[in-house]
Structure 1
């Protein structure tokens, strides 16, 4: 389920939404570091800045989902999406996957707006990725026919480790992680139907 054996071309064909999101991550990062590009322009105009959001720049509830602070940040989140995104895109389809990913990310950013100070600035797709973990967690509870017992244990273990690291690592948007996870879980409870086959 989480082991990738596809070729690059097969990955693009089988998981178009995951591929597009990762491409956006990479493109935005490399645009931001181009030597002739205005310094910090992307961050100044599209990062999540609570003060600017309350002043009416509501696109900042969405755009931070696709932006990252540095190369390791972008690489880690993109790699996480490569590992955990394909199975869910296959399980629920591309349109529901887009919905879960974006709503989880937006909810994480709204929670950040409400609970963090106006001076708080944030970027990253972690809230949306934790939303995927939350959706998987819901599936392990109410749709045991969709995910094998072994994969359920893997998902829950990784989710617990991710939560622990959320509180141990510096410069982490704890609010986004927690509310992304909660939103994904609630979406899983709401969207999972009674039909489906076991993903191994």
Structure 2
């Protein structure tokens, strides 16, 4: 018999013993000043390899957990605060009725070429309660999505799914249709999160996620005539499609990718859209 390793930690020695048992490697536990694992000479190399592989995998898992969401909650809260400030600051440029005139998602004007409206509408809200509700739910979904994406990508996908969702809603609407609010982007982020949960944790979980999404969709739309369910639903669908595409065609770890680029692009789209709107 050859001595494989020595440790003073009983829990650790039991773990290594389980690893060897799982691989069918004969061994003995001995107690001297410390705990020891002994294996037959002919199994020594195989046992050492299995223990080394286990240690490497365990180190990678621990490192991944430590780095998964650096400043996750703080970053989300701070970015949502900036978003609220941006919404309020718009009122310093023009009165509310003028902002609504040039920035709402209006299907008649959108179809005439005023593309920016699908993005500017994301930063217009009917009152403070409307803004606060969108910030709360968006912050919640951003925080949950930080387990899979960087904050920059969260914002970029929110703006893109919100804008595309608004555009589809305007194209499909009959008669004159006008909408405002960040909620299309909120549901877009929920769609992205649903896609990642679907792929990461098994297909049965999609039932839970879908139930949550549909329940929230109904909650936000229940009893109010000014809720745009079409925009919410299309934002959700667009976000889910984007999330599926990321998982299928770009399966890399995205928790630390595009942190700065994503933020700059997301806010660049919104600010440029308002620049065009003010210039008309």
**Band the TM-score falls in, shorter-chain normalisation:** 0.7 to 0.9
How many residues are matched?
178
TM-score normalised over the length of structure 1: 0.75
Q: Which has the higher contact order (CA 8 A, sep 6+)?
A: 1
Q: Is the 8 A contact 1:127 1:180 kept in 2?
A: yes
Q: Residue in 2 aligned with 1:27?
A: 86
**Unaligned residue ranges in structure 2 (runs of 5+):** 1-70, 255-280
Distance 1:22 1:83 in 2: 13
Q: Is the 8 A contact 2:103 2:121 kept in 1?
A: yes
TM-score normalised over the length of structure 2: 0.55
Q: Residue in 2 aligned with 1:46?
A: 103
Where does 1:110-189 land on structure 2 (aligned, <5 Å)?
A: 110-144=167-201, 153=208, 155-170=209-224, 171-189=226-244
Instruction: Report the structure number with the largest CA radius of gyration.
Output: 2
Q: Alpha-carbon deviations, 1:2-37, whole Å to 9, x = none?
A: xxxxxxxx678533xx633542334324653x7x95
Distance 2:128 2:136 in 1: 12
Kindly report the root-mean-square deviation, in angstroms, between the aligned alpha carbons of the 2 structures. Answer: 2.9
CA gap 1:45/1:164 in 2 versus in 1, 3 angstroms: same
CA gap 1:86/1:167 in 2 versus in 1, 3 angstroms: closer
SS at match of 1:187: helix
Q: Residue in 2 aligned with 1:72?
A: 129
**Unaligned residue ranges in structure 1 (runs of 5+):** 1-9
Q: Residue in 1 aligned with 2:156?
A: 99
Distance 1:164 1:196 in 2: 33
SS at match of 1:112: helix
The structure carrying a bigger strand percent of its residues is: 2
